[in-house]
């Protein structure tokens, strides 16, 4: 599997301009800003899906000789800036890839993105093939503004079977189990949990899951909707208190605040026996498998869902993470461009060869009825687990720093880091986030 990293961590990731030149329909005056000229249809981040995009382009070109698909690569952050500038100026691509959530909503609110709801309603088979929990990340006020184009990336709790066996323990099913396990591991001189705290965003996974487990998805829904005082909801305060409880109990490996999550250091602590667990996205599997193939092949790696919280409102099947990346359609697309773009999204994305390509690269696409294909993949136990986790989730919450506006997401990472460092109290965290949300 290719190591997978969340978009916020891809400082040096490759990106691409995916250009579909419509030879027969004209250009509507759009340019690629470095692409092949008039008629640019789509810009796309390739990340770990470059092979899939290339295979899709080849297949599409053979079936549609009147249009051309070409790629131009550049880095992740410049892509986001380029997209903002082009879309804001009204000369962006017809299709553009994005992460859903708050970033996409800002384009929607500005009238820059087309509503795809009628296209999906006209073809129920297309719509019903996608996991509803994933499609929700590109749905606002009941209208769909994007279609997923790669794999799901839920956050799971990885663990070393060997270290848990050493202390005679099972993976934790509840929060109380986790606290008891922390105590056992520390008594044996084993660091309980590894985390790349220097990168800040791994802290967020703990808050996301705890808020969900305590208060259910409605708690964050109120935050995302900008409800006054939503950050001081009792569930958020309780989650912050539980984080402090875990930190104070010595739950995280010594020096976790200086460990980078972007270089595989945190995962390395797991497969080298320095820590027993790590909460990380599904991309962590690839990082571990690359760093120590024997650790995986010899069966030392285990994984499980986030622990339940006694008395909490959140369902134990609820998950958090990166739901998928999406293709969205420009609100300025002509009728001809729209027809071509929708046709590509419907027939060129998630068809059999596209799905096979994703699975070959370790991506698990959010489409129904893939069990047979999954059994034929390398690491079938893992890919099947990820697939069922996403498929059966009652709620799949997009990572908060993507679901919120970029400004509020940055404030969240700053104040959450302060909470983990013990620089502010849970009560201060809630108050500071309410203040930030009110700006």
**CA of residue 81 relative to chain centroid, distance:** 20
Domains of the chain and any CATH numbers = 7-152+323-368 (3.40.190.10), 154-320+399-437 (3.40.190.10)
CA torsion 120→125→128→134, rounded to 10°?
-60
Radius of gyration of the chain (CA): 22
SS3 322: strand
- Look at residues 216, 401, 410, 240 and name the one whose alpha carbon lies nearest to residue 322: 401
Tokens representing 343?
């046709």
pLDDT along the chain (439 residues), means of 10: 38 40 36 38 60 82 74 62 84 85 92 97 95 95 96 97 97 98 97 96 97 98 96 98 98 95 92 97 92 96 97 96 93 88 91 92 92 92 96 95 91 98 98 96
What's the pLDDT at 78?
74
Name every residue whose Cβ is closer than 8 Å to that of residue 352 and which is 6 or more positions away in sequence: none
What's the pLDDT at 36?
37
d(CA 282, CA 405): 24
Name every residue whose Cβ is closer than 8 Å to that of residue 71 and which is 6 or more positions away in sequence: 16, 17, 18, 19, 46, 53, 54, 57
d(CA 433, CA 411): 7
Is 348 in contact with 272 (CB distance < 8 Å)?
no
Is 237 in contact with 230 (CB distance < 8 Å)?
no
Q: What angle do CA 245, 160, 181 make, to 5 degrees?
A: 30
What's the pLDDT at 76?
62
What's the pLDDT at 27?
34
Is 345 in contact with 123 (CB distance < 8 Å)?
no
- Look at residues 438, 318, 246, 247 and name the one whose alpha carbon lies nearest to residue 430: 438
Is 296 in contact with 289 (CB distance < 8 Å)?
yes
Tokens representing 363?
């991506």
């Amino acid at each position: 599997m290719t190591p997978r990293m969340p978009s916020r961590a891809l400082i040096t990731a490759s990106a691409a301009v995916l250009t579909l030149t419509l030879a027969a329909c004209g250009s509507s005056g759009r340019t690629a800003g470095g692409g092949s000229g008039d008629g640019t249809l789509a810009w796309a981040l390739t990340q770990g899906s470059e092979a899939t995009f290339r295979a899709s382009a080849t297949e599409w070109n053979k079936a549609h000789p009147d249009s051309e698909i070409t790629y131009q690569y550049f880095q992740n952050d410049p892509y986001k800036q380029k997209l903002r500038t082009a879309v804001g100026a009204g000369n962006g691509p017809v299709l553009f890839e994005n992460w859903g959530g708050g970033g996409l909503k800002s384009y929607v609110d500005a009238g820059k993105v087309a509503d795809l709801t009628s296209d999906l309603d006209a073809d129920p088979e297309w719509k019903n093939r996608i996991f509803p929990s994933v499609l929700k990340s590109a749905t606002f006020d009941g209208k769909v503004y994007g279609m997923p184009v790669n794999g799901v990336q839920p956050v799971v709790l990885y663990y070393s079977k060997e270290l848990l066996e050493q202390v005679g323990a099972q993976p934790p099913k509840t929060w109380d189990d986790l606290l008891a396990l922390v105590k056992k591991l520390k008594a044996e001189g084993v660091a309980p949990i590894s985390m790349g705290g220097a990168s800040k965003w791994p802290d967020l996974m703990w808050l996301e899951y705890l808020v969900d487990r305590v208060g259910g998805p409605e708690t964050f829904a109120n935050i995302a909707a900008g409800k006054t005082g939503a950050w001081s909801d009792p569930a958020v305060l309780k989650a912050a208190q539980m984080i402090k409880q875990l930190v104070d109990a010595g739950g995280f490996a010594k020096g976790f605040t200086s460990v980078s999550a972007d270089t595989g250091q945190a995962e390395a602590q797991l497969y080298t026996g320095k820590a027993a667990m790590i909460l990380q996205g599904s991309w962590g599997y690839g990082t571990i498998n690359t760093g120590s193939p024997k650790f995986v092949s010899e069966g030392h790696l285990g994984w499980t869902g986030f622990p339940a919280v006694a008395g909490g409102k959140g369902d134990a099947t609820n998950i958090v993470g990166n739901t998928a990346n999406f293709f969205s359609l420009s609100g300025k697309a002509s009728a001809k461009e729209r027809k071509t773009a929708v046709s590509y999204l419907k027939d060129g994305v998630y068809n059999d060869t596209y799905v096979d390509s994703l699975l070959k690269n370790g991506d698990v696409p959010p489409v129904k009825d893939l069990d047979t294909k999954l059994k034929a993949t390398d690491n079938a136990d893992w890919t099947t687990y990820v697939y069922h986790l996403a498929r059966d989730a009652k709620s799949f919450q997009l990572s908060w720093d993507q679901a919120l506006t970029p400004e509020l997401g940055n404030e969240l990472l700053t104040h959450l880091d302060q909470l983990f460092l013990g620089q502010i109290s849970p009560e201060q965290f809630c108050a500071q986030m309410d203040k930030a949300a009110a700006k």
